[in-house]
Amino acid sequence: MSKIFETARKAGLDGFMLALLSMIVLAWLWPYPGMKESPLHLSEISSYAVSIIFFFYGLRLSPEKLRAGLVNWKLHLMVHLSTFVLFPLVALAFRPLFKTEESQTIWLAIFFLTALPSTVSSSVVMVSIARGNIPAAIFNASISSLIGVLITPLWMGVVMDAGPEHFNLLSVVGKLALQVLLPVFAGIFLNKRWGHFAEHNKKYIRYFDQSSILLIVYTSFCESFGEHLFNSLGIKEIVFLGLGMFALFFAIYFLLTFIGNLLKFSREDEITAVFCGSKKSLVQGAVMSKVLFSGAQAGFMLLPIMLYHSLQLIAASIIAQRMSREINTAEKI
């Protein structure tokens, strides 16, 4: 059990998750500082912090490693089809079950989760623990974030244009390009000169990333609580939503395992496919919610991804530990 907690801690399920919950409680108790009318302008500050996050992210991306990772194209195709096609199609299949206006809002938040890119750090950690293809995991997790800048708003545009919500796709993509893509490519361009600095100080950069995400979550939920968007949700609804997120993770996980067997992937590639293809990024969710949705709606849209993020780390850490034990046992025989 201690190994499971240690793996979860390395993947991010530690004090940071408690801090996220604390930010939500703080936003509930004291929403004013994070609202638009507040003189502190915390929401604007968090927007600048997002660009810095992705600049450092790009700074640690080596162009040589990205080019080398293109070789295993079947694995990459499977991961990204799962992330950006399979997940959204599952959500669309269940849309008819959400019939009321309130439940449609919940469904939209779930669909937003399914349209997000894969997470980076926890995917690589889990693949490493399970002894999968680590270079391929790094490549897929990195590329997923870049693809998501275009694919996520495209998916949201499809479902929101079909409903009463107003969605300006060009404006959204333009904002994401300035706030995310431009800093990432600037970082990649400067990788040779400053990449060693980012690697040497990755611990402190991670602290900055997490602090920025806490600020984004706080300001998003401040607007949501200030506008009373959560009044329709009780404990029962949140528990059912959590169970749904748990079921979604395992449905994708087992489906990817089945497809990997059909394609006769090596054990290492199959591990990479199931862990990278079943994850969703809380960081990207926090960033894109600020651009895609109005201030008050952004916090509500983050609820499914926060639940999924926590549950995916718990489930994946247990699975990764089991895979590691199986390999150790086989090697001793």
Rounded average pLDDT over 175-188: 82
| Residue 286 forms part of a structural domain | yes
**Which pLDDT belongs to residue 65?**
66
| Residue 329 forms part of a structural domain | no
| Residue 168 forms part of a structural domain | yes
- How far apart, in whole angstroms, are the C-alpha atoms of residue 203 and residue 264? 38
Q: How many helices (H) and strands (E) does the chain have?
A: 17, 0
- How far apart, in whole angstroms, are the C-alpha atoms of residue 79 and residue 85? 10
Res. 322: pLDDT tops 90: no
| Residue 26 forms part of a structural domain | yes
| Residue 114 forms part of a structural domain | yes
Res. 12: pLDDT tops 60: no
The single residue listed with the structure tokens 């990278």 is 276
How many structural domains is the chain composed of?
1
Share of the chain above pLDDT 90, in %: 20
- How far apart, in whole angstroms, are the C-alpha atoms of residue 157 and residue 130? 37
| Residue 332 forms part of a structural domain | no
> Do residues 58 and 179 touch, judged by C-beta distance below 8 A?
no
Mean pLDDT lowest among 28-32, 111-115, 231-235, 286-290: 231-235
- Classify residue 119 by its DSSP letter: P
**Which pLDDT belongs to residue 128?**
80
Rounded average pLDDT over 256-278: 92
**Which CATH number belongs to the domain containing residue 275 in this structure?**
1.20.1530.20
Which domain covers residue 196, as residue numbers?
2-323
- How far apart, in whole angstroms, are the C-alpha atoms of residue 113 and residue 115? 6
Rounded average pLDDT over 51-68: 75
**Which pLDDT belongs to residue 295?**
64
Provide the H-helix boundaries in 69-163.
73-81, 87-93, 101-114, 121-129, 134-161
**Which pLDDT belongs to residue 9?**
58
This model's pTM is above 0.85 = no
| Residue 27 forms part of a structural domain | yes
Mean pLDDT lowest among 108-117, 143-152, 154-163, 264-273: 154-163
How confident is the prediction for the chain on average, in pLDDT?
Answer: 81
Res. 297: pLDDT tops 60: yes
**Which pLDDT belongs to residue 233?**
74
| Residue 330 forms part of a structural domain | no
